[in-house]
Amino acid sequence: MKKVVILGSGISGLGATYRLQQDGIKPLVFEKDGYFGGKTASFVNDHGFLFDLGPHISFTKDERIQKILAKFVNDEYESLHVKLHNYWNGTWLTHPVQLHMHGLPHDLIVEMVSEFVKEQHGPERKINNYEDWLVASYGRKFAELFPMQYTRKYHTTEANNMCTEWLGPRMYRPSFEEMLKGALAPWNPKVHYVSHFRYPTHNGFVSYLKEFPKMAEITLNHEVMAIDPKKKEIRFSSGVTTNYDSVISAIPLPDLIPMIQSAPREVVEAADLLSCSTCVLVNVSVDRTDLSESHMTYFYDQDICFSRLSFPHMLSPNNAPAKHGSVQAETYFSKKYRPLNKPTDTVIDDVISGLKRSGVLREGDKILAREARVLKYANVIYDLDRAKAIEIVHGYLKEIGIAYCGRYGDWAYMWTDESFISGERAATTVLSK
Ligand SMILES: Cc1cc2nc3c(=O)[nH]c(=O)nc-3n(C[C@H](O)[C@H](O)[C@H](O)COP(=O)(O)OP(=O)(O)OC[C@H]3O[C@@H](n4cnc5c(N)ncnc54)[C@H](O)[C@@H]3O)c2cc1C
């Protein structure tokens, strides 16, 4: 039997494993952390509150993936209608704002709608970057006030430094009638790319991966330090080595490339140009359930540190003790654009202050626990360096026979279903050789 090694035990590693087992192969998976699941891992704190490693819901429309995931949790999942909000300058607005301006100051609405109309009837704008796309889609005023501010917080860079390749269904482009309707009164247009989602009833999002250890031989606490593609040998931080017939890697490319012995300088430099945000997740456990009407809220104000809040206790009744609630805040940094150069305790304090300012936390709320977790690699930043750099890096990996997969192998803005499929695809490549 072929010895297939998978590096990384996230959901893309599971996808690869799932595909390999169809050909009767049980892969060896090596994981640097002491738990499996990567970004889809879940943790319970001392007070019985469950937090995923970043807010994770499954909103895939792919029926095959829906069935696979449902089977992994024995059909025990919550099926919920998503509720999303935005917070801007003290006002709460339904998501997406371009369809729900009702509630904003009238003068501002007039200005935003007028600029939208002006843009629609002006000469066609040449799209060189994300900012151009935003202005062409929404008009300058709206673009500057909402998505460009969010970009600064979430992607840690300016919209004019980003391309548009990552957009997919993420940003809805309204017609004039739709924008106007939402500005005049509340309505429910049902156009967002997430309408419903699923979430495991028990033990958090990682439950979707609970069959993983049966399908693969997973070795934890094994951080890859070096790969010799000629000898087909991998060395771990413990000094242990292993050989492989085929290897599939989900390791983030900026870490993977320098590990490869004799990687050309041009490839190492290209990998160094790939940018990703780092997320500081702050998890707060509270003695109250009515913390929010929505599962997630997007924050635009630059003086509130977090970009997004989610409320794990609203995803499954088993995520928090009865009559208690939980908040997870995402605050973003990046090595290239906004280095994380303060202690995470300071981020926790900033988050608590933002929660109080926006009214999510009230005076008198009892905070039972607060903690921060750092995701070194969170969201791939589609800056203007990405396209060229990724071509060089992927070309090299193909040349030396290292298959790559997942969000940080494909280096793309993938959701869990796409990462799973990416793992399957990498396994198919390996099997075809
Ligand atoms: C904040 C946030 C929220 C998200 N929300 C959603 C959502 O709601 N719905 C959704 O569908 N998707 C969501 N996603 C996307 C989703 O998390 C990813 O698509 C998916 O989890 C990526 O899986 P992966 O296997 O590619 O990467 P990972 O899960 O990161 O797996 C890679 C693995 O490789 C390991 N590794 C790294 N370096 C080494 C090394 N040197 N040696 C050995 N092992 C190593 C890591 O520890 C990790 O376990 C979200 C992502 C983030 C960051």
Q: For the segment 167-183, what is each residue's pLDDT rounded down to a tens digit?
A: 988 999 999 999 999 99
At 25, the pLDDT band (50, 70, 90 cuts) reads very high
Q: Peptide bond preceding 96: is omega within 30 degrees of 0, i.e. cis?
A: yes
Pair (258, 398) in one structural domain: yes
Q: Name the residue among 313, 307, 304, 315 with its Cα closest to residue 355.
A: 304
Residue nearest to atom 37 of ligand 1 (CA): 251
Pair (76, 103) in one structural domain: no
CA of 416 to the centre of ligand 1 (A): 8
* The two structure tokens encoding residue 270: 């290209």
Q: Decide if 81 is inside a domain.
A: yes
Residue nearest to atom 34 of ligand 1 (CA): 8
Pair (199, 313) in one structural domain: yes
Pair (200, 299) in one structural domain: yes
How many contiguous H segments (helices) and E segments (strands) does the chain have? 13, 19
Pair (199, 317) in one structural domain: yes
pLDDT at position 192 = 79
pLDDT at position 167 = 94
Q: Decide if 334 is inside a domain.
A: yes
Q: What is the mean pLDDT of residues 202-217?
A: 97
Q: What is the mean pLDDT of residues 240-269?
A: 97
Pair (338, 405) in one structural domain: no
Pair (197, 237) in one structural domain: no
- Residue of 39, 242, 331, 421 to mutate, ligand 1, most atoms within 8 A of C-beta: 39
Q: Is the pLDDT assigned to residue 375 strictly greater than 80?
A: yes
Average pLDDT of the chain to the nearest whole number: 97
Q: Name the residue among 110, 405, 395, 381 with its Cα closest to residue 250.
A: 405
pLDDT at position 169 = 86
Q: Classify burial at 70, counting beta carbons within 10 Å of its beta carbon; exposed 0-12, middle 13-18, buried 19 or more.
A: middle
Tell me how many domains the chain contains. Answer: 3
pLDDT at position 315 = 98
Is the CB of residue 85 less than 8 Å from the CB of residue 311? Answer: no
Q: What is the mean pLDDT of residues 236-248?
A: 96
Q: Choose one of 331, 352, 376: the last residue of a domain.
A: 376
Q: Is the pLDDT assigned to residue 191 strictly greater than 90?
A: no
Residue nearest to atom 35 of ligand 1 (CA): 8
Pair (200, 342) in one structural domain: yes
Q: Decide if 215 is inside a domain.
A: no
Pair (55, 13) in one structural domain: no
Residue nearest to atom 53 of ligand 1 (CA): 378
CA of 270 to the centre of ligand 1 (A): 22
pLDDT at position 416 = 98
Phi and psi angles of residue 374, each rounded to the nearest 5 degrees, phi first: -105, 125
At 1, the pLDDT band (50, 70, 90 cuts) reads low
Calculate what percentage of the chain has a pLDDT beyond 90.
97
Q: Name the residue among 402, 397, 394, 409 with its Cα closest to residue 430.
A: 402
Q: Name the residue among 55, 134, 60 with its Cα closest to residue 378.
A: 55
Ligand 1-lining residues (CB < 6 angstroms): 7-13, 30-33, 38-40, 54-58, 223-224, 250-251, 255, 279, 330, 375, 378-379, 406-408, 414-416, 419
Q: Decide if 229 is inside a domain.
A: yes
Q: What is the mean pLDDT of residues 210-217?
A: 97
Count of Cβ atoms closer than 10 Å to residue 217 Cβ: 12
Q: What is the mean pLDDT of residues 311-320?
A: 98
| CA atoms within 13 A of residue 23's CA, in its CB half-sphere | 17
Q: Where are the beta strands (DSSP E) in 203-256?
A: 217-219, 224-228, 233-236, 241-243, 246-249
Pair (202, 161) in one structural domain: no
CA of 370 to the centre of ligand 1 (A): 23
Count of Cβ atoms closer than 10 Å to residue 42 Cβ: 21
Q: What is the mean pLDDT of residues 196-213?
A: 97
What residues make up the domain containing 62?
Answer: 41-95+192-206+277-376
Is the CB of residue 381 less than 8 Å from the CB of residue 279? Answer: no
| DSSP assignments along 12-58, one per residue | HHHHHHHHHHTTT---EEE-SSSSS-GGG-EEE-TTS-EEESS---B
pLDDT at position 187 = 94
Q: 276: which residues sit within 8 A by CB, 6+ positions away?
A: 252, 254, 334, 335, 377, 378, 379, 380, 381, 408
Residue 29: give its domain's CATH number: 3.50.50.60
CA of 263 to the centre of ligand 1 (A): 25
pLDDT at position 193 = 82
Q: Decide if 211 is inside a domain.
A: no
Pair (369, 404) in one structural domain: no
Q: Which amino acid is at 71?
A: K
Ligand 1 nearest-atom number relative to CA 60: 11
Q: What is the mean pLDDT of residues 363-382?
A: 97
